[in-house]
Amino acid sequence: MKRFAVICSALLFVGSLAAAMLELAPAAIDLRGPVAAHLAASGVSHPVTAVLLNYRGYDTLLEIAVLLLALLAILAVVGEPGAARPAPAHPVLQTLARLATPLMIVVAVYLLWAGAFRPGGAFQAGAVLAAAGVLLHLAGLLPGWQTPRLRLRLGLAGGFALFLAVAGGLLAQGTLLQYPPALAGGLILLIESGLTLSLALTLAGLFLFLSRDEVAP
């Protein structure tokens, strides 16, 4: 009975959300023109990257903070986990995982580099790297993560700290996230490089910190 009530509540919420979205009025302001007009000063040539790190940089910064807080909440809830080892997988699966992981790293690096002028960037690159970690775990090649040590903590928070450091450095010119045109491209690449590693560790951690696979007897 409790499960039925939860399902009904979830369906009611989804229906209410869909109805609210369908009733939304068209956007009063079309920003495509202004974004295209100022794209040259953004440091990148792709409008999505320009919007994410120039015109709505505050939102992007807070999105990183939300993901990091979600991981911290998981660590607080699960507490001190016991030792967890991945269950052994078939040798063929392990071989495929070993072959796929380097390719996924190359794809992640490409997505990071391509984000300046075509679809890609730190979020996509970080997701691919995280998927590589999860794949290695499912293949029995990477154990579930325990309490994060210093290096892992630095990796998890490093991207967000770097983003904050760049934003704080820009306060000298009176703005928080307005990049100087001559330095915009380099600063965006620096931020996205740090975010790629931190996002990869955070997204992988959402899975690996909860892993409780035990080696079969």
pLDDT in tens, 169-208: 888 777 777 888 888 888 888 999 999 999 999 999 988 8
- Measured distance CA(125)–CA(135) in Å, rounded: 15
* All structural domains of the chain with their residue ranges: 2-208
Residue 86: its pLDDT value, please? 60
3-state helix, strand and coil shares in percent for the chain, rounded to the nearest 5: 70, 0, 30
Supply the DSSP symbol for 147: S
How far apart (Å, rounded) are the C-alpha atoms in residues 31 and 51? 10
pLDDT at residue 141 greater than cutoff 60: yes
CB atoms within 10 A of CB 46: 18
Strands, DSSP E only, in the chain? none
41 DSSP 8-state letter: G
pTM over 0.85: no
pLDDT of the residue at 214? 46
Q: Rounded mean pLDDT of 107-136?
A: 91
pLDDT band at 85 (very low <50, low <70, confident <90, very high): low
Q: Which letter, b or e, does each residue of 6-29 get, where b requires 16 or more Cβ atoms within 10 Å of its Cβ? A: eeeeeeeeeeeeeeeeeeeeeeee
C-alpha span between 33 and 39 (Å, rounded): 10
Q: What percent of the chain has pLDDT over 70?
A: 92
**Residue 5 and residue 142: Cα distance in Å, rounded?**
39
* CB of 121 closer than 8 Å to CB of 49: yes
| Arithmetic mean of pLDDT, 96-112 | 94
pLDDT of residue 108: 95
